[in-house]
Amino acid sequence: MSDRLAVRKTYKLYLGGAFPRSESGRTYEVHDTRGHFLANAAWASRKDGRDAVVAARSAFGKWSGATAYNRGQVLYRVAEVMEGRAAQFTEEVAAGEGLSTAKARAAVDAAIDRWVWYAGWTDKLAAVLGSTNPVAGPYFGFSVPEPTGVVAVLAPQRSSLLGLVSVLAPVLAAGNTAVVVTSKERPLPAITLGEVLATSDVPGGVVNLLTGDAAEIGPWLAEHADVDAIDLAGAPAPLAMELERSAAGTIKRVLRTPAEEPDWTADPGLSRLRPFLETKSVWHPIGV
Amino acid sequence: MTSLFEYAPAPESRSIVDIRPSYGLFVDGEFVDGTGTPLKTVNPATEEVLSEVATGSEEDVDRAVRAARRAFVKTWGPMRPADRGKYLFRIARLLQERAREFAVLETLDNGKPIRESRDVDVPLAAAHFFYHAGWADKLEHAGLGPAPRPLGVAGQVIPWNFPLLMLAWKVAPALATGNTVVLKPAETTPLTALLFAEICQQADLPPGVVNIVTGAGETGRAVISHPDVDKVAFTGSTEVGRSIARAVAGTEKRLTLELGGKAANIVFDDAPIDQAVEGIVRGIFFNQGHVCCAGSRLLVQESVHDEVVASLQRRIGTLRVGDPMDKNTDLGAINSAEQLARIRELAAFGETEGATCWQPEGELPDRGFWFKPTVFTDVSPAHRIARDEVFGPVLSVMTFRTPDEAVAKANNTTYGLSAGIWSEKGSRILKVTDQLRAGVVWANTFNEFDPTSPFGGYKQSGYGREGGRQGLAAYLSSGDQK
């Protein structure tokens, strides 16, 4: 061990491709599972939430309009860059979730592999979820899956990295942009993930990561007219019901959360892709 | 209405259909009395009372849900999938056999022209049953996992604009996937659903598989909020859709919503104008404009605006508005006094907000509910007639200069159900299609429907799809879908 004094990181938000502090100026203390101080995290406000929605909406056209091949490569790049910082993620996950180094490393590995799994989906969704429609008339009928738009994601509270990646990656793979409220008690891996995203060719604004309280920001996102869908993964039951009710006001697509936080190592299938995809059916004329 | 052409009346006979003076609810395979206050259903073209129909109370709905649950557990759920399919094939055939009867009854109860109920509503309803019948024993090939499972009891609430067709869109996929059904038809158009109940009896469909509980909003609320309903499907207004989504929040119920729309119909300067005019008419005046996907916002490229509008007005002048039972009629009656009042209110906003109103010459019948085909020009995107769903024969015309402007204006709405594009250029059609945020896009046509083509909205036009392989997902659960 050298006696060099470590340079500690200031954890800020990841918003519109930049790393600002909360506009509110608020921070809160983050501790490990034994109560030792780890860092001060930015405590995002509802205004930060609204700014994040603007950033996500601005980024939607470019991200949803990118070719599926391009999106796949960008998501794969996220896995590549994460792999290089696996040790840092392992340390943060171990401290934040109270895991042994080996278990934390396994969670990090699973998170990286999850990006790889979703990177491979981008150019297969149209084939698997789309169709040609043999309509009874002189039309070439076909249906294509398209991204829903801006998705608000309340990330899981317990699984700070694997859980986060498991809910975020499908939103991106489907071509949506995201406003994420991270785990409140365990926000640090999310901001490190933001650094990975910022250096992986993910365009600014496609992912916005807000550290703070889902109960504080969630209601504003649930009723925001420019948010198209909400994933309630990290909302406890009473809050989840309130948010679902509030999301009804603008007919948002709502991905409900099970009573218990699921086992994020399980094969996700299409369960987190379908809710954030629309189907467009097209009738193209046939004739000479 | 005066017309370029004189036509002798060609009324369809109503003698083919035998309307009973009163109807009960269809629960557990038989007609039973309802315990709510009965409602009268009228012919909107004459205001004649057609029949008295029972209203389902909460208690009646509970009986229907229990019957549906029993059928799900005891007969329909365990049945061989191929046999479920055969029942649906039977229903499709029975609908075809009694097609004229259904068409006449639909026109009497709804006010839509017999030509449309005969050529569109009823054949498409039969086609939906025929299509879904084939799925019943092929669900493991639907891409929803190796062993998709039905959800249980589906509570379905449908609107008055296509009473039988919406029933088919709801009931056929639910049954094909092994669910049982409690269906609440619209208050003003219950009769074809009750005739459909007779079809279920003729098909020997096991009791409780289909239950039909008539009534108004209260009955619908009881259906969607019943604790033993696993799946809620609703077609209707965005406002009611919101209240249903609120009611379902915090439950395990799965929900699909097919709601309102304010579709853009985009005419480029290279479009075949005569064909486009036919399509514009079909887009907004089909079914008196009582169509959630109606092409109610006409976006015309500036250089052809005057030509299109003149041609459109000439064509509208030849439309015949009147007796829905006349086989020559193009526009029938508005479905209810309430809907007529809503159309009048929004059309009045059009004038006070500064748009120019045009209607063809001609008289409307003295009795019944009528509204002339109406075109507003000089419409601004901020006008209510450009933003709110009128659900009537009212077209708002706006212009654009570039394709980008057309797309921006088309997408400038909280809705996203459908859109139309008129152009002779295939590459342009596909490019613009790609940019439109709408669930159905018609190119050089409008208001086409097919059971193989998934239908449903983006944004506040709802979620979930009806029809096609994609539509099955609303009624199944599998390993990767909760």
Q: What is the pLDDT of residues B149-198, one digit of tens each?
A: 999 999 999 999 999 999 999 999 999 999 999 999 999 999 999 999 99
Over residues B388-396, the mean pLDDT reads 98
**The pLDDT of residue A261:** 85
B-chain residues near A256 (CB < 8 A): 482
**The pLDDT of residue B4:** 57
User: Per-residue pLDDT for B480 more than 80?
Assistant: no
Over residues B475-481, the mean pLDDT reads 75
SS3 state at B130: helix
What's the mean pLDDT when you consider all of chain B?
Answer: 96
Q: What is the pLDDT of residues B340-383, one digit of tens each?
A: 999 999 999 999 999 999 999 999 999 999 999 999 999 999 99
Beta carbons of A118 and A176 less than 8 angstroms apart: no
User: Per-residue pLDDT for B3 more than 70?
Assistant: no
Asked if B445 is an interface residue toward chain A (Cβ–Cβ < 8 A), one would say yes
**The pLDDT of residue B481:** 46
CATH of the domain at A179: 3.40.605.10
Beta carbons of B406 and B299 less than 8 angstroms apart: yes
User: Per-residue pLDDT for B440 more than 90?
Assistant: yes
Question: In 10 A of CB B80, how many CB atoms?
Answer: 10
One-letter amino acid at B369 equals F
Judged by CB atoms closer than 8 Å, whether chains meet at A279 and B430 is answered as no
Considering only the beta carbons, identify the residue of B443, B454, B468 that sits closest to A285: B443
Judged by CB atoms closer than 8 Å, whether chains meet at B448 and A283 is answered as yes
User: Per-residue pLDDT for B236 more than 90?
Assistant: yes
Q: Is A130 left (phi over 0), alpha (psi -120 to 50) or beta?
A: beta
Q: What is the pLDDT of residues B62-88, one digit of tens each?
A: 999 999 999 999 999 999 999 999 999
**Position A14 in a domain:** no
SS3 state at B18: coil
Q: Can you read off the two tokens belonging to residue B378?
A: 């000089």
User: Per-residue pLDDT for B145 more than 90?
Assistant: no
Edge-to-edge strand list for the sheet holding B254-258: B30-32, B25-27, B210-212, B180-184, B153-157, B231-235, B254-258, B462-463
**Position A269 in a domain:** yes
User: Per-residue pLDDT for B479 more than 80?
Assistant: no
The answer for residues whose C-beta is within 8 angstroms of residue B467's C-beta and 6 or more apart is B128, B131, B169, B173, B449, B450, B451, B452, B453, B454, B455
The whole-angstrom separation of Cα A81 and Cα B271 is 50
Our answer to whether residue B106 is catalytic in this structure is no
DSSP symbols for A113-150: HHHHHHHTTTTTHHHHH-EEE--SSSEEEEEEEEE-SE
> Where do the domains of chain B lie?
22-259+459-477, 264-443
Q: What is the ipTM metric for this complex? A: 0.96
pLDDT band, very low/low/confident/very high, at B6 (cuts 50, 70, 90): confident
Q: Under CATH, which architecture does the B22-259+459-477 domain have?
A: 3-Layer(aba) Sandwich (3.40)
The whole-angstrom separation of Cα B460 and Cα B261 is 8
Beta carbons of B163 and B110 less than 8 angstroms apart: yes
**The pLDDT of residue A1:** 59
Q: What is the pLDDT of residues A201-250, one digit of tens each?
A: 999 999 999 999 999 999 999 999 999 999 999 999 899 999 999 999 99
User: Per-residue pLDDT for B482 more than 80?
Assistant: no
- For the domain made up of B264-443, the CATH class stated in words is alpha beta
**Position A7 in a domain:** no
**The pLDDT of residue B410:** 98
The whole-angstrom separation of Cα B352 and Cα A252 is 33
Beta carbons of A82 and A107 less than 8 angstroms apart: no
**Position A88 in a domain:** yes
pLDDT band, very low/low/confident/very high, at B1 (cuts 50, 70, 90): very low
Over residues A101-122, the mean pLDDT reads 98
Asked if B173 is an interface residue toward chain A (Cβ–Cβ < 8 A), one would say no
pLDDT band, very low/low/confident/very high, at B233 (cuts 50, 70, 90): very high
Q: How far is A272 from chain B (nearest CA, A)?
A: 8
The whole-angstrom separation of Cα B31 and Cα B26 is 4
Judged by CB atoms closer than 8 Å, whether chains meet at B241 and A245 is answered as no
Q: How far is A193 from chain B (nearest CA, A)?
A: 27
Considering only the beta carbons, identify the residue of A128, A250, A278 that sits closest to B439: A278
Q: Which of B463, B472, B478, B482 to mutate to test the interface with A (most CBs of A within 10 A)?
A: B463
Chain B 463-482, residues with CB within 8 Å of chain A CB atoms: 463, 465, 468-470, 473, 479-482
The whole-angstrom separation of Cα B392 and Cα B371 is 8
**The pLDDT of residue B297:** 98
Considering only the beta carbons, identify the residue of A133, A228, A250 that sits closest to B453: A133
Considering only the beta carbons, identify the residue of A139, A148, A271 that sits closest to B481: A271
User: Per-residue pLDDT for A172 more than 70?
Assistant: yes
Our answer to whether residue B292 is catalytic in this structure is yes
One-letter amino acid at B85 equals G
Question: In 10 A of CB B22, how many CB atoms?
Answer: 13
pLDDT band, very low/low/confident/very high, at A259 (cuts 50, 70, 90): confident
| Phi, psi values for residue A5, rounded to 5° | -80, 125
**Position A16 in a domain:** no
For residue A124, what are the domain limits? 27-285
Active site residue: B116, B292, B293, B466, which one?
Answer: B292
SS3 state at A190: helix
Asked if B426 is an interface residue toward chain A (Cβ–Cβ < 8 A), one would say yes
Q: Can you read off the two tokens belonging to residue B481?
A: 């879908």
Q: Can you read off the two tokens belonging to residue B454?
A: 């998934």
Q: Tell me which residue of B316, B310, B309, B388 sits closest to B350, measured CA to CA.
A: B388
Q: Can you read off the two tokens belonging to residue B91?
A: 């229903």
Beta strand B374-377 pairing with B394-400 = parallel
What is the count of structural domains for chain A? 1
pLDDT band, very low/low/confident/very high, at A2 (cuts 50, 70, 90): confident
**The pLDDT of residue B181:** 98
What residues are paired with B376 via a beta bridge? B357, B396
